[in-house]
Amino acid sequence: MSISKLSVVIPCYNEESNIQELFRELREVGDQLIFSLEVILVDDGSKDRTYEEIEKISIANNFVSGISLSRNFGHQIALLAGLEKSTGDIIIMMDGDLQHPPKVIPELIQKYEEGYDIVNTKRIDDESTSFFKKKTSKLFYTLINKLSDTKVEPFGADFRLMSRETVDAFISIQEHDRFTRGLVSWIGFNQGIVAYKANPRFSGKSSYTLKKMIKLAINGITTMSSKPLRISLYLGLMFFVTGVLYATFILYNYFSGLNVAGWTSILITILILGGIQLLIMSIIGEYVSRIFNETKARPLYLIKKNTNDES
Protein backbone atom coordinates (compact mmCIF):
# COMPACT_ATOMS: atom_id res chain seq x y z
CA MET A 1 0.00 0.00 0.00
CA SER A 2 3.00 2.30 -0.03
CA ILE A 3 2.41 5.32 -2.22
CA SER A 4 5.09 6.61 -4.54
CA LYS A 5 3.05 8.87 -6.79
CA LEU A 6 -0.15 10.90 -6.59
CA SER A 7 -1.94 11.89 -9.81
CA VAL A 8 -4.31 14.85 -9.80
CA VAL A 9 -6.74 14.87 -12.72
CA ILE A 10 -8.55 18.09 -13.59
CA PRO A 11 -11.06 18.55 -16.43
CA CYS A 12 -11.09 22.16 -17.61
CA TYR A 13 -13.64 23.88 -19.79
CA ASN A 14 -13.10 27.61 -20.26
CA GLU A 15 -11.00 27.90 -17.12
CA GLU A 16 -8.25 30.20 -18.47
CA SER A 17 -8.57 32.55 -15.49
CA ASN A 18 -8.52 29.78 -12.88
CA ILE A 19 -5.74 27.46 -13.94
CA GLN A 20 -2.75 29.48 -12.71
CA GLU A 21 -4.25 30.01 -9.25
CA LEU A 22 -5.34 26.38 -9.02
CA PHE A 23 -1.87 25.21 -9.96
CA ARG A 24 -0.27 27.54 -7.40
CA GLU A 25 -2.43 26.07 -4.63
CA LEU A 26 -1.83 22.53 -5.86
CA ARG A 27 1.92 23.02 -5.82
CA GLU A 28 1.78 24.28 -2.26
CA VAL A 29 0.05 21.05 -1.27
CA GLY A 30 2.42 19.00 -3.44
CA ASP A 31 5.47 20.48 -1.72
CA GLN A 32 4.32 18.98 1.56
CA LEU A 33 3.87 15.48 0.15
CA ILE A 34 6.48 12.83 0.76
CA PHE A 35 5.83 11.22 -2.61
CA SER A 36 5.87 12.58 -6.14
CA LEU A 37 3.05 14.47 -7.79
CA GLU A 38 1.68 14.27 -11.32
CA VAL A 39 -0.88 16.79 -12.55
CA ILE A 40 -3.01 16.04 -15.60
CA LEU A 41 -5.01 18.92 -17.02
CA VAL A 42 -7.62 18.01 -19.61
CA ASP A 43 -8.79 20.80 -21.87
CA ASP A 44 -12.33 19.80 -22.86
CA GLY A 45 -12.48 21.76 -26.12
CA SER A 46 -12.46 25.16 -24.41
CA LYS A 47 -13.32 28.26 -26.41
CA ASP A 48 -10.88 30.46 -24.48
CA ARG A 49 -7.12 30.22 -23.90
CA THR A 50 -7.30 27.34 -21.42
CA TYR A 51 -4.95 25.12 -23.40
CA GLU A 52 -2.37 27.89 -23.80
CA GLU A 53 -2.38 28.31 -20.01
CA ILE A 54 -1.97 24.55 -19.57
CA GLU A 55 0.96 24.57 -22.01
CA LYS A 56 2.65 27.39 -20.12
CA ILE A 57 2.46 25.49 -16.85
CA SER A 58 3.57 22.21 -18.34
CA ILE A 59 6.63 23.78 -20.00
CA ALA A 60 7.76 25.21 -16.67
CA ASN A 61 6.90 22.12 -14.61
CA ASN A 62 7.77 18.68 -15.90
CA PHE A 63 5.31 16.92 -13.59
CA VAL A 64 2.40 18.62 -15.33
CA SER A 65 0.94 17.32 -18.57
CA GLY A 66 -1.99 18.50 -20.62
CA ILE A 67 -4.35 16.89 -23.10
CA SER A 68 -6.56 18.80 -25.47
CA LEU A 69 -9.68 16.96 -26.59
CA SER A 70 -10.74 17.48 -30.20
CA ARG A 71 -13.98 19.20 -29.09
CA ASN A 72 -16.15 19.65 -26.03
CA PHE A 73 -17.05 16.14 -24.85
CA GLY A 74 -18.44 17.12 -21.46
CA HIS A 75 -17.19 16.98 -17.90
CA GLN A 76 -17.68 13.23 -17.36
CA ILE A 77 -15.79 12.20 -20.49
CA ALA A 78 -13.00 14.73 -19.90
CA LEU A 79 -12.53 13.19 -16.47
CA LEU A 80 -12.23 9.73 -18.01
CA ALA A 81 -9.64 10.96 -20.52
CA GLY A 82 -7.52 12.27 -17.64
CA LEU A 83 -7.90 9.11 -15.58
CA GLU A 84 -6.82 6.96 -18.54
CA LYS A 85 -3.62 8.97 -18.78
CA SER A 86 -2.85 8.90 -15.06
CA THR A 87 -0.02 6.73 -13.75
CA GLY A 88 -0.09 7.37 -9.99
CA ASP A 89 -0.70 4.82 -7.24
CA ILE A 90 -3.46 7.04 -5.99
CA ILE A 91 -5.50 9.45 -8.09
CA ILE A 92 -7.46 12.52 -7.10
CA MET A 93 -10.02 14.09 -9.43
CA MET A 94 -11.16 17.64 -8.88
CA ASP A 95 -12.71 20.64 -10.66
CA GLY A 96 -10.68 23.34 -12.34
CA ASP A 97 -12.49 26.30 -10.79
CA LEU A 98 -11.13 26.01 -7.20
CA GLN A 99 -14.53 24.98 -5.86
CA HIS A 100 -12.75 21.86 -4.67
CA PRO A 101 -10.05 23.29 -2.41
CA PRO A 102 -6.63 21.65 -2.85
CA LYS A 103 -5.99 22.00 0.86
CA VAL A 104 -8.45 19.14 1.46
CA ILE A 105 -6.07 16.77 -0.39
CA PRO A 106 -4.01 15.81 2.72
CA GLU A 107 -7.26 14.84 4.47
CA LEU A 108 -8.21 12.60 1.53
CA ILE A 109 -4.82 10.92 1.65
CA GLN A 110 -5.09 10.42 5.39
CA LYS A 111 -8.46 8.74 4.95
CA TYR A 112 -6.99 6.50 2.23
CA GLU A 113 -4.24 5.47 4.64
CA GLU A 114 -6.91 4.42 7.13
CA GLY A 115 -7.73 1.67 4.65
CA TYR A 116 -10.26 3.02 2.15
CA ASP A 117 -9.89 2.33 -1.58
CA ILE A 118 -12.07 5.27 -2.58
CA VAL A 119 -12.48 8.46 -0.58
CA ASN A 120 -15.52 10.45 -1.72
CA THR A 121 -16.30 13.96 -0.59
CA LYS A 122 -19.45 15.56 0.64
CA ARG A 123 -20.07 19.23 0.09
CA ILE A 124 -21.10 21.35 3.03
CA ASP A 125 -22.98 24.20 1.36
CA ASP A 126 -21.97 27.72 2.10
CA GLU A 127 -24.00 30.85 1.56
CA SER A 128 -22.78 31.19 -2.01
CA THR A 129 -24.63 28.08 -3.20
CA SER A 130 -27.90 29.31 -4.59
CA PHE A 131 -31.21 28.25 -3.06
CA PHE A 132 -32.22 26.88 -6.44
CA LYS A 133 -29.10 24.71 -6.79
CA LYS A 134 -29.54 23.33 -3.24
CA LYS A 135 -33.19 22.41 -3.85
CA THR A 136 -32.70 20.90 -7.32
CA SER A 137 -29.72 18.92 -6.11
CA LYS A 138 -31.74 17.52 -3.19
CA LEU A 139 -34.62 16.59 -5.49
CA PHE A 140 -32.22 14.88 -7.87
CA TYR A 141 -30.69 12.67 -5.18
CA THR A 142 -34.06 11.72 -3.72
CA LEU A 143 -35.23 10.73 -7.19
CA ILE A 144 -32.13 8.80 -8.19
CA ASN A 145 -32.01 6.88 -4.92
CA LYS A 146 -35.69 5.95 -5.20
CA LEU A 147 -35.32 4.80 -8.80
CA SER A 148 -31.89 3.25 -8.94
CA ASP A 149 -30.44 0.11 -7.39
CA THR A 150 -27.09 1.81 -6.86
CA LYS A 151 -27.10 4.22 -3.96
CA VAL A 152 -25.68 7.68 -4.63
CA GLU A 153 -24.65 9.75 -1.62
CA PRO A 154 -26.38 13.19 -1.66
CA PHE A 155 -24.26 16.33 -2.12
CA GLY A 156 -21.38 14.32 -3.48
CA ALA A 157 -19.04 15.96 -5.94
CA ASP A 158 -16.63 14.68 -8.53
CA PHE A 159 -13.88 15.42 -6.04
CA ARG A 160 -12.47 12.15 -4.76
CA LEU A 161 -9.44 10.02 -4.21
CA MET A 162 -9.23 6.60 -5.83
CA SER A 163 -6.64 3.86 -5.59
CA ARG A 164 -4.99 2.62 -8.81
CA GLU A 165 -7.02 -0.58 -8.57
CA THR A 166 -10.35 1.24 -8.45
CA VAL A 167 -9.38 3.66 -11.23
CA ASP A 168 -8.53 0.68 -13.44
CA ALA A 169 -11.94 -0.79 -12.63
CA PHE A 170 -13.61 2.52 -13.43
CA ILE A 171 -11.76 2.89 -16.74
CA SER A 172 -12.79 -0.62 -17.76
CA ILE A 173 -16.39 0.61 -17.92
CA GLN A 174 -16.64 1.80 -21.51
CA GLU A 175 -20.14 3.27 -21.42
CA HIS A 176 -20.80 6.43 -23.40
CA ASP A 177 -23.35 8.02 -21.13
CA ARG A 178 -21.34 8.28 -17.98
CA PHE A 179 -22.62 9.34 -14.64
CA THR A 180 -19.36 9.24 -12.69
CA ARG A 181 -20.89 9.37 -9.21
CA GLY A 182 -23.19 6.44 -9.94
CA LEU A 183 -20.47 4.37 -11.61
CA VAL A 184 -18.04 4.92 -8.74
CA SER A 185 -20.69 3.79 -6.31
CA TRP A 186 -21.41 0.79 -8.56
CA ILE A 187 -17.81 -0.50 -8.63
CA GLY A 188 -17.92 -1.08 -4.89
CA PHE A 189 -14.69 -1.60 -2.90
CA ASN A 190 -14.18 0.08 0.43
CA GLN A 191 -15.52 3.64 0.22
CA GLY A 192 -15.06 6.39 2.78
CA ILE A 193 -16.17 9.99 2.89
CA VAL A 194 -14.68 13.35 3.85
CA ALA A 195 -16.71 16.56 4.25
CA TYR A 196 -15.42 19.84 2.87
CA LYS A 197 -16.65 23.36 2.55
CA ALA A 198 -17.07 24.32 -1.09
CA ASN A 199 -15.60 27.59 -2.25
CA PRO A 200 -17.44 29.87 -4.62
CA ARG A 201 -16.08 29.66 -8.16
CA PHE A 202 -12.74 31.53 -8.28
CA SER A 203 -13.52 33.15 -11.62
CA GLY A 204 -15.77 32.66 -14.64
CA LYS A 205 -19.20 31.11 -14.49
CA SER A 206 -20.51 27.59 -14.11
CA SER A 207 -20.97 25.77 -17.38
CA TYR A 208 -23.66 23.61 -15.82
CA THR A 209 -26.64 25.43 -17.19
CA LEU A 210 -30.11 24.26 -16.22
CA LYS A 211 -30.25 22.37 -19.50
CA LYS A 212 -27.00 20.50 -18.76
CA MET A 213 -28.18 19.75 -15.22
CA ILE A 214 -31.43 18.23 -16.48
CA LYS A 215 -29.46 16.21 -19.01
CA LEU A 216 -27.12 14.93 -16.28
CA ALA A 217 -30.12 14.04 -14.09
CA ILE A 218 -31.86 12.11 -16.88
CA ASN A 219 -28.56 10.43 -17.70
CA GLY A 220 -27.99 9.56 -14.06
CA ILE A 221 -31.38 7.95 -13.71
CA THR A 222 -31.64 6.14 -17.03
CA THR A 223 -28.09 4.77 -17.01
CA MET A 224 -28.36 3.44 -13.48
CA SER A 225 -31.87 2.03 -13.52
CA SER A 226 -34.60 0.61 -15.72
CA LYS A 227 -37.35 1.30 -13.21
CA PRO A 228 -38.86 4.19 -15.22
CA LEU A 229 -39.81 1.59 -17.85
CA ARG A 230 -42.00 -0.07 -15.27
CA ILE A 231 -44.05 3.09 -14.89
CA SER A 232 -46.11 2.02 -17.90
CA LEU A 233 -47.05 -1.19 -16.12
CA TYR A 234 -48.41 0.67 -13.09
CA LEU A 235 -50.12 3.36 -15.15
CA GLY A 236 -51.59 0.74 -17.46
CA LEU A 237 -52.99 -1.24 -14.52
CA MET A 238 -54.40 1.88 -12.94
CA PHE A 239 -56.17 2.95 -16.11
CA PHE A 240 -57.42 -0.56 -16.82
CA VAL A 241 -59.08 -0.78 -13.41
CA THR A 242 -60.55 2.72 -13.71
CA GLY A 243 -61.70 1.85 -17.24
CA VAL A 244 -63.53 -1.27 -16.09
CA LEU A 245 -65.26 0.65 -13.29
CA TYR A 246 -66.28 3.43 -15.64
CA ALA A 247 -67.51 0.97 -18.25
CA THR A 248 -69.72 -0.68 -15.64
CA PHE A 249 -71.16 2.71 -14.78
CA ILE A 250 -71.86 3.56 -18.42
CA LEU A 251 -73.43 0.20 -19.17
CA TYR A 252 -75.62 0.48 -16.10
CA ASN A 253 -76.81 3.89 -17.28
CA TYR A 254 -77.38 2.59 -20.81
CA PHE A 255 -79.56 -0.30 -19.71
CA SER A 256 -81.51 1.86 -17.29
CA GLY A 257 -82.35 4.08 -20.23
CA LEU A 258 -80.44 7.10 -18.95
CA ASN A 259 -78.84 9.30 -21.56
CA VAL A 260 -75.22 10.24 -20.72
CA ALA A 261 -73.77 13.39 -22.25
CA GLY A 262 -70.75 12.15 -24.20
CA TRP A 263 -68.69 15.13 -25.31
CA THR A 264 -66.95 15.98 -22.02
CA SER A 265 -66.20 12.44 -20.94
CA ILE A 266 -64.85 11.39 -24.34
CA LEU A 267 -62.62 14.43 -24.61
CA ILE A 268 -61.21 13.99 -21.10
CA THR A 269 -60.47 10.33 -21.77
CA ILE A 270 -58.76 11.02 -25.08
CA LEU A 271 -56.63 13.85 -23.72
CA ILE A 272 -55.49 12.07 -20.58
CA LEU A 273 -54.79 8.78 -22.30
CA GLY A 274 -53.04 10.52 -25.21
CA GLY A 275 -50.81 12.43 -22.81
CA ILE A 276 -49.90 9.34 -20.86
CA GLN A 277 -49.12 7.38 -24.00
CA LEU A 278 -46.79 10.12 -25.22
CA LEU A 279 -45.08 10.24 -21.83
CA ILE A 280 -44.50 6.52 -21.78
CA MET A 281 -43.29 6.54 -25.38
CA SER A 282 -40.76 9.22 -24.48
CA ILE A 283 -39.48 7.10 -21.59
CA ILE A 284 -39.05 4.13 -23.93
CA GLY A 285 -37.43 6.49 -26.45
CA GLU A 286 -34.87 7.55 -23.84
CA TYR A 287 -33.77 3.94 -23.41
CA VAL A 288 -33.82 3.19 -27.14
CA SER A 289 -31.58 6.19 -27.81
CA ARG A 290 -29.19 4.89 -25.18
CA ILE A 291 -29.07 1.47 -26.87
CA PHE A 292 -28.44 3.26 -30.17
CA ASN A 293 -25.59 5.28 -28.64
CA GLU A 294 -23.88 2.32 -27.06
CA THR A 295 -24.17 0.01 -30.07
CA LYS A 296 -22.45 2.49 -32.37
CA ALA A 297 -19.39 1.92 -30.17
CA ARG A 298 -17.62 5.10 -31.21
CA PRO A 299 -14.54 6.07 -29.24
CA LEU A 300 -15.51 7.96 -26.09
CA TYR A 301 -13.28 10.91 -26.97
CA LEU A 302 -10.59 12.03 -29.37
CA ILE A 303 -7.36 13.77 -28.45
CA LYS A 304 -6.20 16.67 -30.59
CA LYS A 305 -2.98 17.66 -28.85
CA ASN A 306 -0.78 16.57 -26.01
CA THR A 307 1.74 18.72 -24.13
CA ASN A 308 4.27 15.89 -24.43
CA ASP A 309 4.09 16.02 -28.25
CA GLU A 310 6.38 19.01 -28.68
CA SER A 311 9.48 17.51 -27.07
Task: Select 30 or 74, whichever has its Cβ closest to ligand UDP.
Answer: 74
Contact 43, 128 (CB under 8 A): no
Q: Which stretch binds ligand UDP (CB under 6 A): 90-98, 134-142, 171-179, 277-285?
A: 90-98
Alpha carbons 291 and 223: distance in angstroms, whole number: 10
Q: Residue 43 or residue 95: which is nearer to Mg ion going by CB?
A: 95
Q: Which of 129, 145, 191, 207 binds ligand UDP (CB under 6 A)?
A: 207
**What is the C-alpha to C-alpha distance for residues 125 and 122, in angstroms, rounded to an integer?**
9
Interaction partner, residue 15 (ligand UDP, Mg ion, none; CB < 5-8 Å by kind): ligand UDP
Backbone angles phi, psi at 176, to 5 degrees: -80, -50
CA–CA gap between residue 57 and residue 274 (Å, rounded)? 58
The span from the CA of 13 to the CA of 75, in Å, is: 8
Specify the residue, 65 or 99, whose C-beta has the smaller distance to Mg ion. 99
Which region among 30-38, 69-77, 159-167, 279-287 touches ligand UDP (by CB under 6 A)? 69-77
Closest distance between Mg ion and the C-beta of residue 113, in Å? 28
What length does the chain have? 311
End-to-end CA distance of the chain: 34
Window of 58-66, 73-81, 140-148, 219-227 that interacts with ligand UDP by CB under 6 A = 73-81
* 102 sits near ligand UDP (criterion: CB under 6 A): no
Could you tell me the CA-to-CA distances from 145 to 5, 47, 137, 154 in Å, in that order?
35, 36, 12, 9
Residue 72 near which of Mg ion, ligand UDP, none (CB within 5-8 Å, type-dependent): ligand UDP
Identity of the residue, 207 or 225, whose beta carbon is nearer to ligand UDP in the bound complex? 207
Residue type, 251: L
Task: Give the burial class of 241: count Cβ atoms within 10 A of its Cβ; 0-12 exposed, 13-18 middle, 19 or more buried.
Answer: exposed
Which residue among 87, 128, 206, 308 contacts ligand UDP (CB under 6 A)? 206
Which string of x and - marks every residue 123-152 that binds ligand UDP (by CB under 6 A)?
------------------------------
Q: Are 170 and 83 in contact (CB under 8 A)?
A: yes
Q: What phi, psi does 196 have (nearest 5°)?
A: -145, 155
In angstroms, the CA 99 to CA 202 distance is 7
Kindly state whether residue 99 participates in binding Mg ion, applying the rule CB under 5 A. Answer: yes
Q: Does 97 bind Mg ion (CB under 5 A)?
A: yes
Q: Which residues bind ligand UDP (CB under 6 A)?
A: 11-13, 15, 44, 72, 74-75, 78, 95-97, 99, 206-208
Q: Which residues bind Mg ion (CB under 5 A)?
A: 95, 97, 99
